[in-house]
Amino acid sequence: MIRLTNFNRIAGLAVALVLAAAGTAAAAQTARPALRANVTVEGDLVRIGDLVENAGPVADVAIFRAPDLGTTGAVSTERIVDAIRPHQLIDIDTRGLTDVTVTRLSRAIAVKEISDRIAAALSQQYGLGAPQNIGLTFDRPVRTLQVEADAAGELQVLALNYDARTNRFDVTLDLPSSATLHRQPPRFSGTAIEMADAVAVNRPVQRGEVLQAADLTVVRRPKAQSVGFTKPAAAIGLEARHALRPGQPLSTADLTKPKLVARSDTVTLVYQAPGIVLTLRGQAQDSGALGDSIGVLNMETKRIVQGVISGPGRVTVAAATTRLAVAAPPAGQ
């Protein structure tokens, strides 16, 4: 008797589950179709099921062409309802929408990716320096390429030509996994020049100013024109020979060592010998920068000696030079 009771309970539970499942299926079948406000598609067709929830058996029926890859368009509710009507899907809940936004997914190939691929090909095929040092100028503005969202892999070069005399290139690219790009491979043309670093000032600099690190920047210029400084450190502490413009690459003719001694300046004349350092007053006979050799009038002996500028207002005379100066006969003898 107890076993029969348990059996009846199990049987009753099973029936309840079957009825519940049937009710759920029936509810799903009778759920009212409703428009979606925003739709994303990957293919080139928009289907009823993309636009309408609970579209049932006609969900896979295509009714519109999708927007271009990577773009968004809007379809009016009235057009959607008219397009669906022949397929016997009625009583659609429009949810008060006036239109539905449709976006076609894509993979974007940015301009930098295009430029990098062309530069790499030029470097490999024509030896035009490292790819990162090749400057490209295109004949027409280059736009981002939109390909299918599932298109994988890197751009490939179908054809490439380069004329070293004119620096002109012509290239055709492809992406085999993209039907769109493979069907109509993009072509680019322009000029390619090997570039190099050049040092320039980042503000107007007047003649005689001494350059500091904060005054300098690195710009890119054609390698053939880069005949000056390539590292900012080499220009730090140098003096402008003339006014300098921002962005103008600096050459060795633009800068000089700052003058530490001017002609007729009173300087400290330092005589050095092993174990002996003697300082006297002197008068500079020339202008000069650090390390320059100039003549100095010894104010004590009234003779001119040659020394090396070793600091502001300071000229050092080596021991050998001192002996020659002392041994020299007076003028007129």
Task: State the average pLDDT over residues 106-111.
Answer: 96
Task: State the average pLDDT over residues 16-44.
Answer: 70
329: pLDDT strictly greater than 80: no
* pTM passes above 0.75: no
Per-residue pLDDT band at 7 (split at 50, 70, 90)? very low
Task: State the average pLDDT over residues 65-87.
Answer: 95
Q: Which of 46-50, 139-143, 236-240, 324-328 has the lowest mean pLDDT?
A: 324-328
Q: What is the number of other CB atoms lying within 10 angstroms of the CB of residue 115?
A: 17
For residue 223, the model assigns a pLDDT of 86
Task: State the average pLDDT over residues 77-105.
Answer: 94
Task: State the average pLDDT over residues 293-320.
Answer: 88
Do 169 and 138 contact (CB within 8 A), yes or no? no
CB-based burial, 139-158: b 16+ in 10 Å, e otherwise: eeebeebbbbbebeeebebe
Which residue ranges form the domains of the chain, and what is each CATH number? 34-105 (2.60.480), 109-194 (no CATH), 196-256 (3.90.1210.10), 259-327 (2.30.30.760)
CA 287 – CA 259 distance, rounded (Å) = 7
Task: State the average pLDDT over residues 38-67.
Answer: 96
333: pLDDT strictly greater than 90: no
Indicate the average pLDDT of the chain: 87
Highest mean pLDDT among 72-76, 221-225, 263-267: 72-76
160: pLDDT strictly greater than 60: yes
161: pLDDT strictly greater than 50: yes
For residue 332, the model assigns a pLDDT of 47
Q: Which of 140-149, 182-191, 302-311 has the lowest mean pLDDT?
A: 302-311
For residue 159, the model assigns a pLDDT of 97
24: pLDDT strictly greater than 60: no
- In the block, which residue shows the tokens 């509810």? 27
For residue 320, the model assigns a pLDDT of 58
253: pLDDT strictly greater than 60: yes
For residue 225, the model assigns a pLDDT of 76
CA 46 – CA 39 distance, rounded (Å) = 9
Task: State the average pLDDT over residues 28-57.
Answer: 91
328: pLDDT strictly greater than 60: no
Percent of the chain with pLDDT over 90: 69
For residue 15, the model assigns a pLDDT of 44
CA 81 – CA 35 distance, rounded (Å) = 10
Q: How far apart are the first and last CA of the chain?
A: 152
